[in-house]
Amino acid sequence: MSRTLLLGAVAYDPKVVTIWTGFRSWFRERGLDLDYVLYSHYERQVEDLLASRIDLAWNSPLAWIRAERLARARGLDLRTVAMRDTDRDLTSVIVVRAEGNLHSPADLRGRTVATGAIDSPQATLLPLALLRGHGVDPGADVDLLRFDVGVGLHGDHIGGERDAASALLAGRADAACLIDANLLLFGRDGTLPSASVRVLAQTEPYDHCNMSVGPGADQALVDRFGELLLSMSYADDSARPLLDLEGLKEWLPGRTDRYAALDSAVTDTGFYLPDGTLGADDYRP
């Protein structure tokens, strides 16, 4: 196993360098030659994965949807080797001010809804799909106040959600779209003071990031990578700081059955076309 396994990751934060440099050393100490390439946005990372310029991609859920569409259009197969324990069974919420008289998604007609970035699955695509499921047409029945922070990062590292929450609290919006974890975070850090908001609607559970395997990857190397990754223990002093930085306690096998709602949202909005090409007119990472 002398060949280098090349992994792609998006540099949404300076700590990404620390994370993947640490992972590279951890894998090399165990006999697997791992290296990484950093990208400024997910679209180029996905294209390079399908072109076999990288072997693995640490993909957002939206990046997985595009990668899968590109692969299907080219007659290729993709799989995912792992995901974090914290990537499973998440939900997004639409919150309103606690003292208001909004009690159902239908009550948002004629109101303003704040969202995250245009490419945020958790704070834009999925919660707006939730509205459509309740018969409320985003952009027609409601006014959207979108906060395009970090476009191209697919909502990584909050991606406009804090601005959406602040707009709700300030009265600039009547509702805000957030991932459930950030609702808790904003309660702790004072962005949304205790009892200031309540949940109006909540999505079904979905999964977030996964480690996607490209069509040109050496399967023996990928299998060894997966074995080592899943063996990482939070009790290991050399691994724990890296796991903390990456936001997990345990790596789990990858699964893809919880991306259906996002795939439908992408189709409904034309964000990506069926062949994986960019479809959203105002999306420029």
What is the mean pLDDT of each successive set of 10 residues along the chain, which is 285 residues long? Answer: 88 96 98 98 98 98 98 96 98 97 98 98 98 96 97 92 98 98 96 97 98 96 98 97 97 97 98 97 91
Alpha-carbon gap, residue 266 to 111, rounded angstroms? 24
As separate numbers, helices (DSSP H) first and strands (DSSP E) second, the chain gives: 9, 11
Contacts (Cβ under 8 Å, ≥6 apart) of 104 = 134, 200, 201
Nearest to 250 by CA among 266, 265, 267, 231: 231
- Round to the nearest angstrom and report the end-to-end CA distance of the chain: 36
Query: What share of the chain has pLDDT > 70, as a percent?
Result: 99
pTM of the model: 0.96
Burial 123-148 (b: 16+ CB within 10 A, else e): bbbbbbbbbbeeebebeebbeebbbb
Q: Write down the pLDDT at residue 2.
A: 57
Q: Where are the strands (E) in 184-250, listed by range?
A: 197-202, 210-213
Strand order in the sheet with 5-10: 34-39, 5-10, 56-59, 210-213, 79-84, 251-253
- Taking alpha carbons only, the member of 252, 256, 189, 257 closest to residue 226 is 252
Opening angle at CA 159, ends 155 and 165, nearest 5: 125
pLDDT (0 to 100) of residue 1: 45
